[in-house]
Amino acid sequence: MTKIQTMAWALLTAVGGVGGIFAGMALANALK
């Protein structure tokens, strides 16, 4: 990976991980 790709990967992973929590709350609610 280049430096830009590493930074993009880390940023997207962090944002995606946090965003996934909210998506998971919605998913868990939908599975009730």
Least distance from another protein to the Cβ atom of residue 8, Å: 6
Least distance from another protein to the Cβ atom of residue 11, Å: 10
Least distance from another protein to the Cβ atom of residue 6, Å: 7
Let me know: does 6 contact 14? Beta carbons within 8 Å.
Answer: no
15 to each of 8, 27, 31, how far by Cα in Å? 10, 18, 24
Q: Which residue has the tokens 């991980």?
A: 17
Q: What residues line the site for another protein (CB under 8 A)? A: 1-6, 8-9, 12-13, 16-21, 23-25, 27-28, 31-32
